[in-house]
Structure 1
Amino acid sequence: MSASELRPEKRGPLAGIRVLDTTGVVVGPMATLILAEQGADVIKIEPPEGDLMRRLGGRPRKPGMSPKFLHFNRNKRSIALDLKSPEGREVMGRLAETADVFVSNMRPRALQSLGLTFEALSAKNPRIVHCTISGFATGGPYAGAPAYDTIIQGLSGVAACHAEVLGEPRFAPFVLTDHLVGIVAAQAICAALLGRERTGVGEAIEVPMFENAAAFVLCEHLDQRTFEAGGHMGDPRIMTPDARPLKTRDGYICVSANTDVQARAFFDAIGRPELKTDPRFVSVTARLANVRDYFAVRTAAMAERTTAEWVEILRRHDVPAMPYHTLHSLLDDPQLRGSGVLTDEVQKNQDGQEETMLGLRHPNRYSGTGVPESRLAPRFGEHGDEILAELGYGPDDRRRLGGRDADAAE
């Protein structure tokens, strides 16, 4: 029985696609979150102790339901399986026969020992798409080494970009490469599903964190090193302390005037029309060669008025500009509320009373298939009995295989 037959209420372009998600923390859950919000039936297969992010992702209101876990695991179902046990492997085998996609961030040795390699699963289900998110691609000297976001940020050049601007290496203040690679993995899975529609068979995908993050950095900053050894590296418009929100009389503003039309409009907006014919600023090429002077003009001008005044003036001149948000003021942005991305969700506490929390919903829209109704992240093992029933297990077997109570790891 297909996932679409089991859950006919699901909508979205991936409705009817079943995804087995054995990942944890951020990079894998980011990938499967995207698939879930596109309509896939994502079954989160958690070890007996549960996903680490249930406990690592901030102080929870309910045990085992940390804020970060809630936001990365919306629209998924949870079953607890000990994949090292015969019972866990039995259930996993049946799930693999019904699945379209298997996603893991286990290392090759673990996949081999658990019988979860592409070869093993495709023998049960030739149509399965098998995606492994790894730290490093096979074939290189780092293959099989453990990796976390901070390791990849430091190794791939992300931290070095901060050093170019700030004078010392720093990690981005979010798990940047986990997010990046999770998005890449979701795209690769969708491409493989499309390929399967043409060939009739699945395939194995390897999505390495280091190589993807390094390519991300180098596409932006190879610059003249593209052409010659020893050539300059780093986009000068970005690799400067002046590439930042600009201080106004009462706060900050974000301004971007890159095209010739925008630059000329900006000079009119700040009351400096003579700069339109200044040799330093007359073209994209000239402004790039004199980027520090150009940024200095912007910095000096913005200090003369309030943020609201500049936003109104620059919009009138069709120059891209928006206020700067702090983390707290971002929550009051009317666009996030108006588009439905930031919402008030209602959940029941341990006493059965309703409580509200801030929820995040899928930002993208699909005109034909729509998106599934947003569901809160699952409690640990919440859907175990339901999933086992879908696989054809009777009540006695479900009690035998169900493992922990849904709240046991919380």
Structure 2
Amino acid sequence: MVSGPLAGVRVVDLTAMVMGPYCTQIMADMGADVVKVEPPEGDNTRFISVGPAPGMSGVFVNVNRGKRSVVLDLRTDDGKAALRALIAGADVFIHSMRAKAIAKLGFAYADVAALNPNIVYTNCYGYGHRGPDRDLPAYDDTIQAECGIPAVQEQLTGEANYVGTIMADKVAGLTALYATMMALFHRERTGEGQEVEVAMFETLAAFMLVEHANGAMFDPPLGPAVYPRTVAPNRRPYETKDGYIAVLIYNDKHWNAFVNAVSPVWNDELYATLERRAKQIDTVYGLVAETLKERTTDEWLALFRELEIPAAPIQSPDALFDHPHLNAVGMFETVDSPHGPVRFPGVPTWFSSTPGHVHGPAPELGADTAAVLNELGLPRAEPTVDDGNPAELVNNRSVGAQGAG
């Protein structure tokens, strides 16, 4: 049974890679009927990591779970006609093509609104269309670089690096989700549809500047655009007698509890208040680092739990699958698929009346084409893809698949 706060909402999804699909994955978890429109080659994300079958990589399977896949060749009249029929009954249209590409196909906002004036139309771009960089391609690494993440990492570690997750894609995907939901909320109140634009560059720039804008926000500037605590070289997991631990002894309550329990030799008025510690934060981190070498990780964890100081062991992503808290709250959902059971990291939010959940596995390429076109009263559009058997297409796919990233 489909459940969730978005049950009854239909989403026509022309996104590819991660930003857009992550947004629509959450919509599907929340009960929306997400129809993923793919080109004959399929979403490139089908092929970028390991998976149980061709075209079913782990990344694709996770961000496209619970959706229906329809293959339409939008270079053909039949493919365009089928997409127009889908749009006519949809609540949301979302794509991740560059503006010129979607307009060339005939599905810019004005074209779609002419078919369905009440639709919420979301653009997932690399750069916003009002700026000079609007036609540039973009991927997570390039956006991280332009928004200052490698520069911040260099201050922290001495070497410019990306962070070890596709931060720009995921933050932009979440932003696309809340922006689309706000537009849907407005439509529910007024009946008015509208166009929404979410750009990776603008999104991650705003994300980075939440804390790093700091003194640069003021006129005249009071300092550079950087939050000193996060780039302090000694801000890192602390070494213990037998491993490492993460702990933040930050506010005055936690600081006083720690020094009273440990009585370090360096405890004096120089570090007595948060304001004083903040002005010499790297020195403070260094002093704590030396102290934490004196006990084992478990001993420190026990003390920090007792003092209610935020602390955690250093774990790998693999450990999350067996984390007792995550399993206690039902974080993981096992779903049957044609290739065996899949244990998904599930819905991280909780609703008392309309809970979401993983509504099914990720679709094989084109698996739902016939069913969806039949719902619309249309014949099957060309090109034909064997439902549930995309191996031949996968092996002969072209690299230039739809999407902007």
TM-score normalised by the chain length of structure 2: 0.92
Q: Which residue does the alignment assign to 2:397?
A: none
Whether the 8 Å CA contact 2:91–2:120 is kept in 1: the answer is: yes
| Correspondence 1:119 to 2:110 | yes
Match of 1:197 among 169, 173, 188: 188
Q: Percent identity?
A: 35
Q: Which residue does the alignment assign to 1:244?
A: 236
Superposed CA offset, 1:115-156 (max 9, x none): 111111111111100000111112322112111111111111
| Correspondence 1:82 to 2:63 | no
Paired AA for residue 384 in structure 2 = G
Task: Please state how far the C-alpha of 1:273 moved relative to its aligned partner.
Answer: 9.2
Go from structure 1 to structure 2 and tell me whether the alpha carbon gap of 1:348 and 1:125 turns closer, same or farther (over 3 Å shift).
closer
Paired AA for residue 80 in structure 1 = V
Superposed CA offset, 1:98-124 (max 9, x none): 101111111111111111111111111
SS of structure 1 residue aligned to 2:227: coil
Whether the 8 Å CA contact 1:280–1:290 is kept in 2: the answer is: no
Q: Which residue does the alignment assign to 2:361?
A: 376
Task: Please state how far the C-alpha of 1:193 moved relative to its aligned partner.
Answer: 0.2
SS of structure 2 residue aligned to 1:237: helix
- Rounded Cα–Cα distance in structure 1 between residues aligned with 2:382 and 2:56: 24
Q: Which residue does the alignment assign to 2:308?
A: 318
- Rounded Cα–Cα distance in structure 1 between residues aligned with 2:203 and 2:337: 38
| Correspondence 1:404 to 2:365 | no
- Rounded Cα–Cα distance in structure 2 between residues aligned with 1:245 and 1:45: 44
| Correspondence 1:285 to 2:266 | no
Q: How does 1:212-251 map to 2 (within 5 A)?
A: 212-227=203-218, 228-229=220-221, 231-251=223-243
Task: Please state how far the C-alpha of 1:345 moved relative to its aligned partner.
Answer: 4.2
- Rounded Cα–Cα distance in structure 1 between residues aligned with 2:40 and 2:17: 15
Q: How does 1:357-396 map to 2 (within 5 A)?
A: 357-393=342-378
Paired AA for residue 19 in structure 1 = V
- Rounded Cα–Cα distance in structure 2 between residues aligned with 1:345 and 1:190: 27
- Rounded Cα–Cα distance in structure 2 between residues aligned with 1:154 and 1:85: 38
Match of 1:54 among 17, 36, 46: 46
Match of 1:163 among 141, 154, 157: 154
Q: Which residue does the alignment assign to 2:179?
A: 188
Match of 1:33 among 1, 4, 25: 25
SS of structure 2 residue aligned to 1:265: helix
Q: After the TM superposition, which of the residue ranges 10-19 and 133-142 deviates more from structure 2? A: 133-142
Which of structures 1 and 2 has the larger relative contact order (alpha carbons within 8 angstroms, sep 6+)?
A: 2
| Correspondence 1:21 to 2:2 | no
Task: Please state how far the C-alpha of 1:222 moved relative to its aligned partner.
Answer: 1.8
Q: Which residue does the alignment assign to 1:329?
A: 319
Task: Please state how far the C-alpha of 1:336 moved relative to its aligned partner.
Answer: 2.2
Superposed CA offset, 1:202-260 (max 9, x none): 10011111111111112221222222347233111111121121111121111122221
Task: Please state how far the C-alpha of 1:314 moved relative to its aligned partner.
Answer: 0.7
SS of structure 1 residue aligned to 2:101: helix
Whether the 8 Å CA contact 2:333–2:358 is kept in 1: the answer is: no
User: How many residues end up aligned between the 2 structures?
Assistant: 390
- Which ranges in structure 1 are unaligned for 5 or more consecutive residues? 1-8, 350-354
| Correspondence 1:138 to 2:119 | no
Paired AA for residue 386 in structure 1 = A
Task: Please state how far the C-alpha of 1:293 moved relative to its aligned partner.
Answer: 2.5
Whether the 8 Å CA contact 1:265–1:318 is kept in 2: the answer is: no
Whether the 8 Å CA contact 1:135–1:148 is kept in 2: the answer is: yes
Q: Which residue does the alignment assign to 1:3?
A: none
Whether the 8 Å CA contact 1:361–1:374 is kept in 2: the answer is: no
Task: Please state how far the C-alpha of 1:392 moved relative to its aligned partner.
Answer: 2.4
- Rounded Cα–Cα distance in structure 2 between residues aligned with 1:343 and 1:281: 47
| Correspondence 1:153 to 2:147 | no
Task: Please state how far the C-alpha of 1:84 moved relative to its aligned partner.
Answer: 1.2
Q: Which residue does the alignment assign to 1:107?
A: 98
SS of structure 1 residue aligned to 2:228: coil
- Rounded Cα–Cα distance in structure 2 between residues aligned with 1:207 and 1:319: 38
Q: After the TM superposition, which of the residue ranges 164-173 and 360-369 deviates more from structure 2? A: 164-173
Q: After the TM superposition, which of the residue ranges 32-41 and 328-337 deviates more from structure 2? A: 328-337
Q: Which residue does the alignment assign to 2:88?
A: 97
- Rounded Cα–Cα distance in structure 1 between residues aligned with 2:66 and 2:95: 18
Task: Please state how far the C-alpha of 1:383 moved relative to its aligned partner.
Answer: 1.3
SS of structure 2 residue aligned to 1:347: coil
- Rounded Cα–Cα distance in structure 2 between residues aligned with 1:239 and 1:188: 31
Paired AA for residue 10 in structure 2 = R
Match of 1:209 among 200, 210, 235: 200
Task: Please state how far the C-alpha of 1:338 moved relative to its aligned partner.
Answer: 2.0
Q: Which residue does the alignment assign to 1:308?
A: 298
Task: Please state how far the C-alpha of 1:373 moved relative to its aligned partner.
Answer: 4.5
Superposed CA offset, 1:40-65 (max 9, x none): 11111000011101112x12221110
- Rounded Cα–Cα distance in structure 1 between residues aligned with 2:113 and 2:130: 23
Whether the 8 Å CA contact 1:76–1:378 is kept in 2: the answer is: yes
Go from structure 1 to structure 2 and tell me whether the alpha carbon gap of 1:242 and 1:49 turns closer, same or farther (over 3 Å shift).
same
Whether the 8 Å CA contact 2:331–2:345 is kept in 1: the answer is: yes
SS of structure 1 residue aligned to 2:21: helix
Q: Which residue does the alignment assign to 1:6?
A: none
Whether the 8 Å CA contact 2:64–2:363 is kept in 1: the answer is: yes
Q: Which residue does the alignment assign to 1:5?
A: none
- Rounded Cα–Cα distance in structure 2 between residues aligned with 1:305 and 1:63: 49
Go from structure 1 to structure 2 and tell me whether the alpha carbon gap of 1:93 and 1:356 turns closer, same or farther (over 3 Å shift).
closer
Q: After the TM superposition, which of the residue ranges 213-222 and 203-212 deviates more from structure 2? A: 213-222
